[in-house]
């Protein structure tokens, strides 16, 4: 069971201080707070974690590739050594060693972290709506809906994106939106040793559309219908896409839906703010979502570890930029191609996987590749659509 939170009646005309305040109890806040509590330097500080949601349901699933053990490896729900890619006229299973493709369920991460945090006397958890986050007298201050305020003596970390990113020259705004079904079959059906990373054989009438399938065992799997477009669909359109895929491509008719999930992730080259006074932005609100793919989990882990190193070595939570500016340029170019429909997204990803190893693509999408292999990867794509987009971005 998720831990109970503690809340007392406080004077709304005064501000109650903690060393560090975290607004939002999602992936980015929990990733950073858990790391800080493991450090001798910060174990005795006072922390406040605030969110409107008590984190009692499995509201999302994170899937990502990783080498070796990660910070949350103990709660990985399932891992795979092989992945399938399907595109028009091309299908291949990739052995992805030394990577593993991993799945972590949202509810498992929330319960894992909150069950630890609730036992810490120096951590306070409040589940109440937040009305504002501001700087006041040199402090980051969060105000709850009832007027009670809490201040951060040192830093306030905010992972809540209150506003949609504003348009900037050379940048675009797409959405990665998806609906997933956890399904169960009456008889063994799935191969749990491999997953389907992307299947672009589905109808592309709404824009870049693919399905991924994550088998948990022979009778259970997560099927996710995913799009990269400017506009959301009606809920029944996601359901229709899932039904058609399961029937037409998996050729499965006897199954039951056990859980559903729905999400929207921004895909934009917008320059997210790093800070506002003593307010530090983390997670998606701090630009830790990969603009061209929507991948977030590993970028949040890298950013959290870098913030901790910066706090320990320099006394502030502003680490050097983790990735070169060329990756931002690549992201903006790909977004421009997709927005202007110079080349359909299914054809882009099919060419990438047809002509490159999964490991090279993973390194590129992680912003960990080197220029020579980036040139090889770029050369595997049609030249003119990307040259036109590059000129527009520049």
pLDDT tens sequence for the chain (394 residues): 344 444 443 444 455 899 999 999 999 999 999 999 999 999 889 999 999 999 999 999 999 999 999 999 999 999 999 999 999 999 999 999 999 999 999 999 999 999 999 999 999 999 999 999 999 988 999 999 989 999 999 999 999 987 766 667 767 889 999 999 999 999 999 999 999 999 999 999 999 999 999 999 999 999 999 999 999 999 999 999 999 999 999 999 999 999 999 999 999 988 888 999 999 999 999 999 999 999 999 999 999 999 999 999 999 999 987 666 899 999 999 999 999 989 999 999 999 999 999 999 999 999 999 999 999 999 999 999 999 999 998 8
CATH of the domain at 288: 3.50.50.60
Domain boundary among 314, 343, 375: 314
- Among 377, 379, 382, CA closest to 360: 377
- Same domain (yes/no): 304, 344: no
72 occurs within a structural domain? no
- Same domain (yes/no): 135, 180: no
216 occurs within a structural domain? yes
Is 227 in contact with 202 (CB distance < 8 Å)? Answer: no
CA–CA distance, 22 with 158 (Å, rounded to integer): 6
CA–CA distance, 184 with 187 (Å, rounded to integer): 9
CA–CA distance, 126 with 280 (Å, rounded to integer): 20
85 occurs within a structural domain? no
- Same domain (yes/no): 39, 148: yes
- Same domain (yes/no): 245, 148: no
Alpha helices (runs of H) in the chain, residue ranges in sequence order: 27-38, 106-117, 235-248, 297-314, 325-339, 345-355, 358-365, 371-379, 383-393
CATH of the domain at 187: 3.30.9.10
320 occurs within a structural domain? no
92 occurs within a structural domain? no
Which residues are 59's β-sheet partners? Answer: none
Is 390 in contact with 381 (CB distance < 8 Å)? Answer: no
- Same domain (yes/no): 216, 338: no
111 occurs within a structural domain? yes
- Same domain (yes/no): 120, 206: no
Q: Report phi then psi at 282, rounded to 5.
A: -130, 170
- Same domain (yes/no): 228, 364: no
pLDDT at 3: 41
Range of the domain at 273: 15-58+105-166+269-314
CA–CA distance, 318 with 303 (Å, rounded to integer): 10
- Same domain (yes/no): 263, 389: no
- Same domain (yes/no): 37, 151: yes
- Same domain (yes/no): 155, 225: no
- Same domain (yes/no): 274, 263: no
How many separate domains does the chain show?
3
Strands (E), the chain: 15-23, 47-51, 61-67, 78-80, 82-87, 90-95, 99-105, 123-127, 130-136, 139-144, 149-158, 173-185, 194-199, 208-215, 220-229, 255-268, 275-276, 279-281
157 occurs within a structural domain? yes
- Same domain (yes/no): 39, 156: yes
Q: ∠ CA(53), CA(133), CA(161), 5° rounding?
A: 60
Chain centroid to Cα 47, Å, comes to 24
pLDDT at 13: 47
8 occurs within a structural domain? no
């Amino acid at each position: 069971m998720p831990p109970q939170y503690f809340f007392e009646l406080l004077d709304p005309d005064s501000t109650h201080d903690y060393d560090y305040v975290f607004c939002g109890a999602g992936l980015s806040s929990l990733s950073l707070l858990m790391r800080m509590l493991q450090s001798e330097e910060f174990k005795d500080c006072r922390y406040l974690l605030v969110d409107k949601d008590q984190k009692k349901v499995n509201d999302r699933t994170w899937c990502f590739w990783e080498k070796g053990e990660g910070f949350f490896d103990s709660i990985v729900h399932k891992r795979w050594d092989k992945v399938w890619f399907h595109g028009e006229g091309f299908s291949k299973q990739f052995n992805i060693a030394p990577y593993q493709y991993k799945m972590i369920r949202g509810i498992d991460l929330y319960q894992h972290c909150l069950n630890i945090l609730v036992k810490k006397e120096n951590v306070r958890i409040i589940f109440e709506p937040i009305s504002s986050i501001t700087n006041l007298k040199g402090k980051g201050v969060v105000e709850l809906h009832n007027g009670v305020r809490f201040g951060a003596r040192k830093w306030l970390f905010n992972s809540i994106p209150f506003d949609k990113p504003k348009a900037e020259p050379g940048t675009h705004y797409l959405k990665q939106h998806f609906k997933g079904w956890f399904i169960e079959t009456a008889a063994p059906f799935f191969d749990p040793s491999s997953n389907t990373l992307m299947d672009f054989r589905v109808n592309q009438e709404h824009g870049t559309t693919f399905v991924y399938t994550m088998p948990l065992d022979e009778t259970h799997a997560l099927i996710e219908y995913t799009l990269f477009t400017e506009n959301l669909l009606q809920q029944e359109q996601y359901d229709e896409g899932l039904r058609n895929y399961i029937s037409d491509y998996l050729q499965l008719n006897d199954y039951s839906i056990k859980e559903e999930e729905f999400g929207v992730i921004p895909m934009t080259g917008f320059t997210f703010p790093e800070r506002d006074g003593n307010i530090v932005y983390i997670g998606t609100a701090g630009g830790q979502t990969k603009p061209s793919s929507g991948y977030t989990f590993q970028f949040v882990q890298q950013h959290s570890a870098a913030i901790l190193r910066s706090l320990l070595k320099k006394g502030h939570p502003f680490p050097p930029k983790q990735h070169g500016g060329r990756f931002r340029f690549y992201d903006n170019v790909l977004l421009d191609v997709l927005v202007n429909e110079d080349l359909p997204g299914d054809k882009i990803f099919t060419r990438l996987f047809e002509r490159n190893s999964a490991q090279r693509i993973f390194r590129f999408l992680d912003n960990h590749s080197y220029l020579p292999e980036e040139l090889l990867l770029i050369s595997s794509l049609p030249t003119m659509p990307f040259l036109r987009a590059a000129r527009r971005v520049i």
